[in-house]
Amino acid sequence: MLNSILNKTKGDRWIWLIVILLSVWSLLAVYSATGTLAYKRGVGAESILMKHLIFIVGGIALMYFSHLLDYRYYAGISKLLMVITIPLLLYTLIFGNTINDASRWVTIPFTTQTFQTSDMAKLALITFLARTLTRKQENIKDVKKAFIPIMGSVCIVFILIALANLSTALMLFGVSILLLIMGRISIKQISIVCLAGLILLGGVVFLGPRRETYKSRIKVFLHPEQADPDKSFQANQSKIAIATGGIIGKGPGNSTQRNYLPHPYSDFVYALIIEEYGLMGGVALAIIYLVFLYRCILIVTASPKAFGALLAAGLSFSLTIQAFANMAVAVGLGPVTGVPLPLVSMGGTSMLFTSVAFGIILSVSRDIEEKKNNPEGTNNKEKIVVGEIPAMG
């Protein structure tokens, strides 16, 4: 059975290797970081590790099945995801579980597991934009047929996420703008989308329900010397972890700041990694994400179809920007946010949706491989999506 699975595993081998490396590193970091959490819960650290391992294995399984599905099917799935996502985001804002004044989670029925709806929203919007930009190319300058549906979807998802999770909303908005540029939307129309985004951003920051939190975090970041010690505690503990890590680190499992640093297994896992593996470990992890981005760029440029190129570009940009945003916060280059490190931070639904995103990218890569190996062959799956156009550039 294992040989059968391995024989069906296609796509970029470097990306598969990156997934394995990040998963192993995640197990090591989470096991080291969850001692205090386990003590507070009255359980052993091994039980938390096993739960995390289950999500990693489940994520890899989802990645495997996602990469087997022809990427063109995701064009149709994106419509269904958007229909589900927008009401779900609205439901989360009104009835979701509130943690630290942020309503980002809903409880999955009949379980105790929470679900962060913005994880689904990221996947839904990127796939929907890739589909819409591909199918509307002939009318891409048409305001009614192309621009309004595109602008509407971006702005609605942005505002619904931003009210509870501004950092995720800003990153998703940035990825959306990159896709609009790749999709040949005119500079004038992109400027209008950016202006609308700025207006919505101003409304969220100055009038939204979490306005005081956003203002406080920005103030702490810009003027740390004047900040209340309680409000700058996370950033300060992260800097201590990084400073004491040195060049080669204290060694796996030897972190001391894990006992003081809030969320060393999720939001600040990169600080713990630098403390235990040193500057060399931190740089190595950053290089892994850069290699992932480079391999994805090769997939984008090799994709014969616009939908595949836009899909791989949007998902890879989203994952890479998220990774470096998490790292930037840990090293003090940005205000504190709740952005996890893809495939490394502990997290349930975040791990699963990230794995699906990797799987979709691998699906595009698998399609390219198959066409290279059988350039003369006919493929009935080409008929799945009507209106495909050649990839840009």
- pTM, two decimals, is 0.89
Helices (H), 183-268: 187-207, 211-222, 233-245
213 burial type by CB count under 10 A (0-12 exposed, 13-18 middle, 19+ buried):
middle
> Tokens representing 285?
């992890």
HSE-CB at 211 with a 13 A cutoff on CA atoms is 10
Q: Is the pLDDT of residue 172 over 70?
A: yes
The answer to whether 300 and 361 are in contact (CB under 8 A) is: no
Average pLDDT, the chain: 84
List, for residues 67-116, the tens digit of each pLDDT value. Answer: 999 999 998 898 899 999 999 888 888 887 766 666 777 777 767 677 78
Tell me how far apart the alpha carbons of residues 218 and 220 are, in angstroms, rounded to a whole number. Answer: 5
> Tokens representing 177?
């703008």
Residue in this structure with the two tokens 């796509």, named with its chain if needed: 11
- Torsion, Cα 314 319 322 326, to 10 degrees, reads -170
- pLDDT at position 2 is 56
102-107: strand order across its sheet: 97-99, 102-107, 114-116
The answer to whether 289 and 328 are in contact (CB under 8 A) is: no
**Could you say which DSSP state residue 143 is in?**
I
The Cα-based distances of 115 to 112, 201, 254, 323, 326 in angstroms read 10, 25, 32, 20, 20
List, for residues 157-171, the tens digit of each pLDDT value. Answer: 999 888 888 888 999
Domain ranges in the chain are: 12-68+216-369, 71-209
List, for residues 362-385, the tens digit of each pLDDT value. Answer: 999 999 988 887 766 544 444 434
Mean pLDDT computed over 174-183: 90
The answer to whether 9 and 359 are in contact (CB under 8 A) is: no
List, for residues 33-51, the tens digit of each pLDDT value. Answer: 888 788 777 788 888 889 8
